[in-house]
Amino acid sequence: MEQSVVGSILFHLAFPVSNVPEAKAYYAEGLGCSIGRESERSVILNLYGHQLVAHVTPEPLTPQGGIYPRHFGLVFTAEADWQALCDRAQQRHLKFYQPPRIRFPGAPLEHRTFFLEDPFYNLMEFKHYRHAEAIFGYQELTQIGDAVPA
């Protein structure tokens, strides 16, 4: 079955945190998420219309060695929206794992990107492609992300 974008479908992602109040502070005050239901061990967050669920884990949370293989985020279709979130993150002194930059400048895959790291070591990428068809297209090109050292 071919997949297409359907307006009535929302993305859901659950991720680990060490405490709900700190997660709420980071995601609501920092990123601007609205808060949904919450309990002592979980909180539902609205990130641009998508459902994130922060779950407290008893396992120790440790920093990742890099952006691969695990991170999540958003692809903005409007550059102004990407810039607004970038400005918000800077104004609220959120931790940038990688600062804003242009990846693949001048190429069909050119996009603006930045990575944030939440207080629980979850990495998030926010990007905007110069050419919208690069989001799912250009199958003849093999570049995906940055080169990973061997």
Average pLDDT, the chain: 93
DSSP readout, 98-129? EEEEEESTTSTT-EEEEEEE-TTS-EEEEEEE
The per-residue pLDDT for range 38-90, each reduced to its tens digit, is 999 999 999 999 999 999 999 999 999 999 989 999 999 999 999 999 999 99
Sequence letter at residue 63: P
Burial level of 107, CB count in 10 A (0-12/13-18/19+)?
Answer: middle
Q: pLDDT category, 139, cuts 50, 70, 90?
A: confident
The region of weakest confidence among 33-37, 84-88, 92-96, 143-147 is: 143-147
Compare 142 and 93 and report the one with higher pLDDT. Answer: 93
Q: DSSP assignment of 22-72, as one string?
A: HHHIIIIIIT-PEEEEE-SSEEEEEETTEEEEEEE-SSPP---SSSSS--E
**What does the chain come to in residues?**
150
The closest of 112, 108, 126 to 71, measured between CA atoms, is 126
Residue 1 has pLDDT above 50, yes or no: no
Query: Token digits for 97?
Result: 């794992």
How much is the pLDDT for 77?
96
Higher pLDDT, 137 or 147: 137
Give the model's pLDDT for residue 32. Answer: 96
d(CA 16, CA 2): 32
For residue 72, give the nearest of 48, 92, 37, 36 by alpha carbon: 48
